[in-house]
Structure 1
């Protein structure tokens, strides 16, 4: 078993050498969309077999620097390789005042949701649904979530998002300032998104950040889930990159994922 700290150090060393194309055979991009005074687009790195090994978004420096005091929500289309990996779209949310719990996440940051189901299904997570709280209470088995990820202590469904599960071992819950964390989403018994959250201050610093994440014991649907995640800056192209990395193809009945990150 490789300790998380060792995995993170090795992974970030790789990012320093190649922020976008770490071990990639090819890169596919989605369409570029306006964001503030700049733009955002999604991408997927692929291996020799054409399968996605890394999926992320890149935001231009001008985009990140220009966003103001109003919340911004952008649905970012994914390229074909990311769709084949089981993802549907990215919901990029700019939270200029942070969000609850304010003592943890009350600073300006981006929520980068990689959704596993359609935008229509996401928007149907609506308090107007008479089964809204019932669906929130139908939490998935812990086996369908990575190790150490736990739901809110009380039902806390967010419209058009779902419930947010957090890594109970993340240093932010031991008092370390929030710079970036990994979150998983759930709704009506299923995992529905993978979400790095990253502060604008971290992006502005241009520092690399990230780490490993364990695999669930099992999956309900075929999907490629990350063994790592990262935040980086590509100085040559002037873009901030937020990604889920080292994707591992999973199918129902395959058992636990890679042992080195569990």
Structure 2
């Protein structure tokens, strides 16, 4: 029997992950202790795979990210969504995949064991979404892009946010819960609630100083996810064009700041910047959280 191509893809990705430091962005200089890298299990994506990774210096996170292996940006799904989160909003008995499904194509990713064991890490799992047609608001995020979620809640809690006719196909009671305002000390500067609450996800607080809100094409941004007046995920959003541009990009422009609240609800390590890189040695693209500070 010929080998299963999906199995071969995962095996190739596992072999690639085992090459360690050469396959990932060089860790920022740390005098001591030595930086070590751990990997999550890859899942097939396009003609490659996606996996998480963490770089640790002792008990301090240096980088937490998602890597897309060589070929992962090719052969991606072209349908608007994978059909996991749909709702017959117009009641006609059929589902329009463009208007009545949300979430694009989901790829749940397990975080490396080394991170899940790390004292003070608030992160529970990662979720990569591929949106071939983008999503709303119109003329803002309607470009092909990846949503890279790092969750602070469990996957079961995320999945319990039900479909319905409100917001972005979310149950109306859950919409009300999702849009409960954050207390002021937990709201980062320049972030606003535009009512972008979504099934199986929660609300999305956006930085209205971002270029995409001022007549420029979307390239990347950072989103705070909220549910029931709590921050539930940290989300770099990266356009497909921006990932490809990283192949020839200026290294000085790889990272952008993560605007901080004045306090965090849950103690632990939180990033002060996020980065998008390409590694020509391995052909990988990475989207990472970096420059961590610990908050009590």
Bucket of the pairwise TM-score, normalised by the shorter protein: 0.7 to 0.9
Deviation at 1:176, TM superposition (A): 2.0
DSSP-derived class of the 1:169 partner: coil
Deviation at 1:236, TM superposition (A): 0.7
DSSP-derived class of the 1:104 partner: coil
Deviation at 1:200, TM superposition (A): 1.1
Deviation at 1:130, TM superposition (A): 7.3
Partner of 2:154: 118
Name the CA distance, whole Å, in 2 between partners of 1:57 and 1:77.
10
Contact 1:139 1:187 in 2 (8 A): no
Contact 2:273 2:289 in 1 (8 A): yes
TM-score between both structures, scaled by the size of structure 1: 0.82
Residue 25 of structure 2 is aligned to residue 19 of structure 1 = yes
After TM superposition, the runs of 4+ consecutive aligned structure 1 residues lying more than 3 A away are 127-131
RMSD (Å) for aligned C-alpha atoms: 1.8
DSSP-derived class of the 1:147 partner: coil
Deviation at 1:174, TM superposition (A): 1.7
Deviation at 1:189, TM superposition (A): 0.9
Residues paired across the two proteins, number: 231
Residue 87 of structure 2 is aligned to residue 42 of structure 1 = no
Name the CA distance, whole Å, in 2 between partners of 1:104 and 1:132.
25
Partner of 1:234: 279
DSSP-derived class of the 2:234 partner: strand
Name the CA distance, whole Å, in 2 between partners of 1:121 and 1:236.
39
Q: Larger RCO: Structure 1 or Structure 2 (Cα < 8 Å, ≥ 6 residues apart)?
A: 1
TM-score between both structures, scaled by the size of structure 2: 0.73
Name the CA distance, whole Å, in 2 between partners of 1:145 and 1:53.
24
Q: Deviations over 1:194-218 (max 9, x none)?
A: 1111111111222354311232111
Partner of 2:60: 51
Partner of 1:30: 40
Alignment of 1:145-184 (within 5 A): 145-152=187-194, 155-184=195-224
Q: Deviations over 1:118-150 (max 9, x none)?
A: 110111111466741331232211321322211
Alignment of 1:105-254 (within 5 A): 105-127=141-163, 131-152=173-194, 155-205=195-245, 206=247, 207=249, 209-251=254-296
Contact 1:29 1:78 in 2 (8 A): yes
Question: Which of residues 74, 88, 95 is equivalent to 2:107?
Answer: 74
Work out which of the two has the higher radius of gyration on C-alpha atoms and give 1 or 2.
2
Partner of 1:256: none
Name the CA distance, whole Å, in 2 between partners of 1:239 and 1:212.
22
Name the CA distance, whole Å, in 2 between partners of 1:82 and 1:67.
29
